[in-house]
Amino acid sequence: MTQQVKAVVARVKGAPVEVVTINVPDPGPGEAVVKVLSCGVCHTDLHYREGGINDEFPFLLGHEASGVVEAVGADVTSVAVGDFVVLNWRAVCGECRACRRGDLQYCFNTHNAKQRMTLAEGPDAGTELSPALGIGAFAEKTLVAAGQCTKVDASARPAAVGLLGCGVMAGIGAAINTGGITRGRSIAVIGCGGVGVAAIAGAALAGASPVIAVDIDAKKLAKAREMGATHTVDSSQCDPVAEIKRICGEVYEGAEGADVVVEAVGRPETWKQAFYARDLAGTVVLVGVPTPDMKVPDLPLIDVFGRGGALKSSWYGDCLPSRDFPMLVDLYQQGRLDLDAFVTEEIGIDDIEAAFAKMHHGDVLRSVVIL
Ligand code: APR
Ligand code: ZN
Ligand code: ZN
């Protein structure tokens, strides 16, 4: 039987979000209904609201979530009713070219629920909703593909582990999965918002040294240090490329930059800093998301060739939820990964516009809606 629940919808481009009633169908084959416990507010939700992702309004926002499986479709065996899960947007298909060659993290055909949730009230009642990243979890309940539910330790704090569903995983994975950072390697992270700080926490967890945080905001740098940065560079005051080279050269004789530089801003000028701040044969990881108009100007091709190494991008931290979420929750439970530090505030379902407004000044890593 279809259920009616409260949820946060972006009805029209650019307009404030609204709390409305939506219809959530019973799970069909391959689907699950999840009672949502927590959902973080991410920049991507704001991008959806502004029409920056696509025009498929109305959107059901929210995608960094934890919850409890309430019902599953008849054929579902991967999760069961009552399981505590973190929702993911990489339910791999197992059949596409990427999956077949063993690169599941690049799956081209990830699964979402086949049925649609709909608006339950107003003149447009019955309109199908587009769930953000195929999740839509600013809702008391949501319908997803069963593969989007990753079972984790049920005693973990929902607001903290739910953040693994997007930004925190993107950052940790950018350092560890895409950058391949390990003990004995140096890293610099440019941009210390939620994603960059997660990259710093991941690098510290993997034993990297030095771990250099770069930002133009002193408050962000202070937070980065708490999360494991060994050095901080205020790039509004100095040339970050020279500073990264200097720090790495002090730690490792002969080093001409960092082994891995993670760009977590998504701008050409910071990507260029990353390009020149890495050591010879080092790796650049672009995890910040550029806009379609951005270009990297004046990059001599001889520098791309001559410096060697790898220029990579990292989608969702190249994560495999079934491998990475339980492992990171375990490290959190042991006190080795401080996911609580990402939860700046717990808020209600009516407070999302206020949380969007707070994103623009530097005090908040994540506002998390508790449902
Ligand atoms: N140099 C260094 N740091 C900068 C610069 C710059 N020129 N410009 C901005 N920053 C810093 C900001 O001060 C802020 O700390 O980058 C950080 C960006 O953080 P957030 O806005 O909180 O964004 P976050 O959620 O971390 O996401 C970062 O990753 O997923 C993508 O779309 C997301 O592109 C965005 C990026
Ligand atoms: Zn696939
Ligand atoms: Zn997100």
| Alpha helices for the chain (secondary structure H) | 43-49, 97-100, 158-161, 167-173, 194-205, 218-226, 240-251, 268-277, 301-307, 321-333, 352-358
Claim to verify: residue 92 and residue 238 sit in the same structural domain: no
> From atom 18 of ligand 1, which residue's Cα is the shortest distance away?
193
Q: With 80 as the cut, is the pLDDT of residue 283 above it?
A: yes
Residue matched to tokens 């937070």: 223
* pLDDT band per the 50, 70, 90 thresholds, residue 141: very high
What CATH number is associated with residue 217?
3.40.50.720
Looking at the domain assignment, is residue 319 inside a domain?
Answer: no
Residue 269 alpha carbon, nearest atom of ligand 1? 7
**pLDDT tens digits for range 35-82:** 999 999 999 999 999 999 999 999 999 999 999 999 999 999 999 999
Of 175, 179, 165, nearest to 201 (Cα)?
175
CATH number of the domain within which 16 lies: 3.90.180.10
Residues 269 and 298 both lie in one domain: yes
**Same domain, yes or no, for 234 and 280?**
yes
Residues found in the chain: 371
Tell whether ligand 1 has an atom less than 6 A from the beta carbon of residue 289: yes
The pLDDT score that the predictor gives to residue 361 is 75
Residue ending a domain, choose from 281, 299, 314: 314
Ligand minimally distant from the alpha carbon of residue 195: 1
pLDDT at 21: 98
What sign results for the dihedral spanned by CA atoms 22, 25, 29, 35? positive
CA 255 to each of CA 92, 187, 199, 238: distance values in angstroms, whole numbers, following the listed order: 39, 12, 21, 20
Say how far apart CA 219 and CA 229 lie, in whole Å: 13
From the alpha carbon of 195, which atom of ligand 1 is closest? 26
Same-domain pairing of 160 and 177: no
What is the Cα gyration radius of the chain? 21
Please enumerate in sequence order all residues whose Cβ is within 8 A of that of 305, keeping only pairs 6 or more positions apart, or say none: none
- Flag whether 288 is in a domain: yes
Q: 69 near 81, Cβ under 8 Å?
A: yes
pLDDT level of residue 199 (50, 70, 90 thresholds): very high
Q: Is residue 219 in some structural domain?
A: yes
Q: Examine the pLDDT at 280 and tell me if it is beyond 80.
A: yes
Task: Report the DSSP pairing between strands 310-313 and 343-347.
Answer: unpaired
pLDDT for 35:
98
Q: What integer best gives the mean pLDDT of the chain? A: 97
Residues 105 and 178 both lie in one domain:
no
Q: How far is the CA of 269 from the centre of ligand 1 (A)?
A: 13
Ligand 1, pocket-test mutation among 41, 42, 43, most atoms within 8 A of CB: 43
pLDDT mean over 83-93: 97
The reply to whether ligand 1 has any atom less than 6 angstroms from the CB of 257 is no
Which ligand sits nearest to residue 96's alpha carbon? Answer: 2
| pLDDT tens per residue across span 303-318 | 999 999 999 999 999 9
Query: Within a domain: residue 177?
Result: yes
- Closest of 263, 269, 309 to residue 289, by C-alpha: 263
Instruction: Examine the domain organization and report whether 225 and 343 are in the same domain.
Output: no
Q: Are residues 83 and 181 in the same domain?
A: no
Residue 231 counted as domain residue: yes
- Tell me which ligand sits closest to the C-alpha of residue 97: 2
> What pTM did the predictor assign?
0.96
Separation CA 124–CA 213 (nearest Å): 48
Instruction: Specify whether 158 is located in the same domain as 224.
Output: no
Give CA–CA dist 197/344, Å, rounded. 13
* Residue in the block written with tokens 């760009």: 263
Cα–Cα distance, 178 to 206 (Å, whole number): 13
Q: Could you tell me if 92 and 191 lie in one domain?
A: no
Name the band, by pLDDT with cuts 50, 70 and 90, for residue 244. Answer: very high
Examine the pLDDT at 334 and tell me if it is beyond 80: yes
Number of domains in the chain: 2
Tokens of 113: 């629920």
Q: Which has the closest alpha carbon to 315: 287, 294, 290?
A: 287
* Residue 332 in domain: no
pLDDT, average across residues 74-96: 97
Asked whether 134 lines ligand 1 (CB < 6 A), one says no
184 and 250 within one domain: yes
Same domain, 153 and 47: yes
Res. 121 pLDDT band, cuts 50 70 90: very high
Residue 326 lies in a domain: no
Rounded Cα distance between 244 and 213, Å, is 9
Contact between 25 and 117 (Cβ < 8 Å): yes
Bridge partners of residue 72, in order along the sequence: 32
User: What is the Cα–Cα distance from 68 to 91, expressed in whole angstroms?
Assistant: 17
- What amino acid positions are annotated as catalytic residues? 42-44, 63-64, 93, 96, 99, 107, 116, 166, 366
Domain hosting 129: range is 3-165+338-370
Residue 182 within any structural domain of the chain: yes
Whether residue 133 is found in the same domain as residue 212: no
Per-residue pLDDT at 151: 98
Ligand 1 within 6 A of CB of 194: yes
Say yes or no to pLDDT of 360 above 90.
no
